[in-house]
Structure 1
Amino acid sequence: MLERFKTHIQNNFSFLMGKRLLLACSGGLDSVVLAHLSVWSDLDVTLAHCNFNLRGEESDGDELFVRNLADELKTEVEVKPFNTQEQVQLGKGSVQMVARKLRYHWFNELMDDKGFDYILTAHHTDDNLETFLINLSRGTGLDGLSGIPAQNDKVIRLLLNFSRNEILDYAQKEKIKWRDDSSNQDNKYLRNKIRLEIVPQLKELHPTFLENFKQTQTYLHQTSAIVEQHIEALKKSLFKREGDRFEINIERLRELQPVEAYLYQLFNTYGFTEWGDVKQLLTAMSGKEVHSKTHRLLKDREYLILSKMELDNKETYFVSEKKCNVETPVPLKMDEVKTIGETSKNTIFLDKEKLNYPLILRNWEKGDYFYPFGMQGKKKISKFFKDEKMDVLSKEKQWLLCSGNNIVWVIGKRLDERFKVDDSTKTILKITLSV
């Protein structure tokens, strides 16, 4: 097995040589064998052990075992105790979920603080099969059936091509000692029930079941790669970038069949999960939107607009009379000039003496109105936005330059008539939006 392991690294993970690796070691069979194989393959590993304090003296025994293992292998070790049960009682999730969150949060801290390059875990083929069956029982798509990836960003699983029996046989042959976790025999956990009751029956039905499963996984990964290539090509065609967002033509989306499957493939990487709501956007009124934790999907006329979630920007900025340049929240340059030059949406000239300082920069609010330059009478900002055919996201990001309660300039759009230069103007102020 050692030679197969070395060949596996050479063929698929040669980039690990010379890197600093954090090896998650519980003290159980799989992680202990991985530790031995890694050290004997000249990988630079440091053992990392989590003491979740869930099994009293047994948990402390695991910790001592891993410390002694590090001495035996002449490698470094990191150990962290956790009050796991307290986190569970605070409603942070099940024992297994909380333990996993605590484990990976600590691993990532170690990587940042001590400069580790990758995390090694001891998942193997049987773990992959169990994950496949769990996902299958809950209902899943192609991603769920593809199982555990050999590499997920900085997490690498070097034993994924090896079965539990192969690992056990190797440990017994090399007289490697390990610790048995009593909780692994508890059938109240779904994974244990599948491991102890279902998988043995599947293997009994067909002697080569595990090998057949590995081959099926290979086919599924290949199919997944084809789907991914197709979706990436489709995204390049459908997703039109406009600044910090994407616009997607709804009519073209509706032509895709089956539309639900395409919506999932196109938008699942942005965190969306409510696919019924996403589909309804295709026929919803403008202004309707669906949120994920990181993104928002907005219906705007014939487009869906995809953008990152942002906190509501209600901040107000003040501009003193002495200030000539403004960088935040929008870049403005202010100069006193003697004559009016060429005006545009981004350059205005106004009567400085009509201004009350400090000027105010803020987002628009419901009820705002101004007197558009060149027009008689006032107009609500919301009506002005509608006439300008501005979408919801553009409205949210629109900044106003104000003098007291009066809007001076809908920045980059229109000056207010009340502040224009006239025959009585003594000081002309030129303001330019740098774009």
Structure 2
Amino acid sequence: MEKKFQNHIISNFSFLKDKKLLLATSGGIDSMVMTYLFHKLNLNFALAHCNFQLRGTESNDDETFVKQFAKENKIECFTIQFNTENYSKEYKLSTQIAARKLRYDWFHELIEKEKFDYVATAHHLDDQVETFLINFSRGTGLDGFTGIPSVNGNIIRPLLIFSREEIEEYAKENQIQWREDSSNASDKYVRNKIRHQVVPVFKELNPSFLSSFQNTLENLKQEQSLINDAVQNAYQNVVIEENNQLKITISTLLSYTNYKAYLYQWLHKYGFSAWDDLFDLVHSQSGKQIFSDEYVLLKDRAFLILSKIEKKENEEYIINSITEKPNFPLNFELCNLSDISNSLKNIIFVDESKIQFPIKIRKWKEGDYFYPSGMQGKKKVSKFFKDEKFTLFQKQDTWILESKNEIVWIIGYRADDRFKIDNTTQHTIKITFTNEKNI
């Protein structure tokens, strides 16, 4: 195993040379064997141990064991204790999910604070099988069948090519000490039930099951690579990235026979779960929306538009004088007639005598109307939006500048004719909108 590990590191993890590494060490057989192998290769590493306080004195003894091992072998060691049960209740998570989140959040904190390059975990081939079957039992796409990645950002898993049996044999041959986790014997958790009751059946049916599974996993990864290429090519043809949004062109999307598969590949990372409703959105009426925790997908005429749900901000700002600096990306300044140029979408010039402070910046509301510059008569703001083909998101993001309960400017889009400069103007105010994300 030692030679196989060395060749594996040289072939697949050569980037670890001269890097500062952190080994996730529970004290169990897998992480202790990983630590022993890293030590054999003279790699630069420290240990990180999490005490989740789920098994009473046994958890504390695990922590003591890892600390003592690190001390005896002159290895730097980081430890932390979590009140996992309270955390899981507070955030309504299962104990296992809570422990995983606490663990990885801490690892990333250590990476940042202590300048580690990578964190290594001791997942092995049997873990791959169990994860595959868990995902299969719950329903998953191809991503769920390609197993635990050996490299995921700065998390590495160098033992994935080894079976639990190989690890146990190596530990015994080299008299490596480890701690037994009593919870591994319980079938309380789904993973343990699969480990004790399901996997042995496969191994009985096929003594070479793990080897066959490894080959299958490699084939699936190759097929996933082909799919990723197809998904990326379709993305370039269908999706427009604009103003921190994704705009999916429906007509082009529907030219793909398996358009639902493409939508899933593009959108699953944004937390959506109601996939039937999301797929139906393609044929729904304009204005319908589907939400995840942080994102909204809107059907808007010829597009599906993905946007992040913004935290609610102030709906109103009051500006008392031209010299006041508002907490809003709008600048006011007096200017000479000689400085006046043609108004742009983000700049307007108004007659100072026609503006009365305090003025207000607010979101538009139903019933608003204004007198668009360059046009005769008034127009409802909602009609202006319709004529300009505003999306629902654009409407929600649009601000109004108001004086004396009259609209001065649909900010970033159109000024009101009533406040424009003319032959009688003595003083002019230049108003600039400095955030052009809506333009």
Q: For residues 189 and 11 of structure 1, do their structure 2 counterparts lie closer, same or farther at Cα, with a shift above 3 Å needed?
A: same
Aligned to 1:58: 58
**Whole-Å separation in 1 of the counterparts to 2:44 and 2:27:** 19
Aligned to 1:334: 333
**Whole-Å separation in 2 of the counterparts to 1:2 and 1:104:** 28
Contact kept? 1:36, 1:73, Cα under 8 Å: no
Q: For residues 335 and 85 of structure 1, do their structure 2 counterparts lie closer, same or farther at Cα, with a shift above 3 Å needed?
A: same
- Could you state the TM-score of these two structures normalised by the residue count of structure 1? 0.93
Pairwise mapping of residues 205-224 of structure 1 onto structure 2 (< 5 A)?
205-224=205-224
**Whole-Å separation in 1 of the counterparts to 2:219 and 2:381:** 57
**Whole-Å separation in 1 of the counterparts to 2:70 and 2:432:** 65
State the SS of the aligned residue for 1:296. Answer: strand
State the SS of the aligned residue for 1:382. Answer: helix
State the SS of the aligned residue for 1:353. Answer: helix
Pairwise mapping of residues 29-68 of structure 1 onto structure 2 (< 5 A)?
29-68=29-68
**Whole-Å separation in 2 of the counterparts to 1:117 and 1:166:** 28
Aligned to 1:69: 69
**Aligned-residue offset at 1:345:** 4.1
State the SS of the aligned residue for 1:314. Answer: coil
Greater Cα offset, 104-113 or 116-125: 104-113
Contact kept? 2:332, 2:429, Cα under 8 Å: no
- 2:157 is the counterpart of 1:157: yes
Aligned to 2:296: 296
**Whole-Å separation in 1 of the counterparts to 2:195 and 2:344:** 71
**Aligned-residue offset at 1:85:** 2.5
**Aligned-residue offset at 1:89:** 4.2
Aligned to 1:368: 368
**Aligned-residue offset at 1:180:** 0.7
Aligned to 1:428: 428
**Whole-Å separation in 2 of the counterparts to 1:101 and 1:430:** 52
Contact kept? 1:263, 1:275, Cα under 8 Å: no
Aligned to 2:106: 106
- State the identity %: 47
Paired amino acid for 1:35: T
Contact kept? 1:349, 1:428, Cα under 8 Å: yes
Q: For residues 357 and 91 of structure 1, do their structure 2 counterparts lie closer, same or farther at Cα, with a shift above 3 Å needed?
A: closer
Aligned to 2:140: 140
Contact kept? 1:53, 1:60, Cα under 8 Å: yes
Greater Cα offset, 34-43 or 164-173: 34-43
State the SS of the aligned residue for 2:283. Answer: coil
Aligned to 1:15: 15
**Aligned-residue offset at 1:143:** 0.7
Paired amino acid for 1:106: W
**Aligned-residue offset at 1:430:** 3.6
**Aligned-residue offset at 1:181:** 0.8
Aligned to 2:225: 225
Contact kept? 2:334, 2:430, Cα under 8 Å: yes
- 2:184 is the counterpart of 1:166: no
- 2:407 is the counterpart of 1:407: yes
Aligned-residue Cα RMSD (Å) equals 2.2
**Aligned-residue offset at 1:392:** 1.4
Gaps of 5+ in 2: none
**Whole-Å separation in 1 of the counterparts to 2:242 and 2:105:** 35
**Aligned-residue offset at 1:320:** 5.5
Q: For residues 63 and 312 of structure 1, do their structure 2 counterparts lie closer, same or farther at Cα, with a shift above 3 Å needed?
A: same
Aligned to 1:252: 252
- Could you state the TM-score of these two structures normalised by the residue count of structure 2? 0.92
Greater Cα offset, 235-244 or 209-218: 235-244
**Aligned-residue offset at 1:260:** 2.3
**Whole-Å separation in 1 of the counterparts to 2:64 and 2:150:** 30
How many residues were matched structurally? 434
Contact kept? 2:323, 2:332, Cα under 8 Å: no
**Whole-Å separation in 2 of the counterparts to 1:160 and 1:328:** 53
Contact kept? 1:351, 1:419, Cα under 8 Å: yes
**Whole-Å separation in 2 of the counterparts to 1:89 and 1:291:** 25
Paired amino acid for 2:292: S
Greater Cα offset, 64-73 or 417-426: 417-426
- 2:400 is the counterpart of 1:391: no
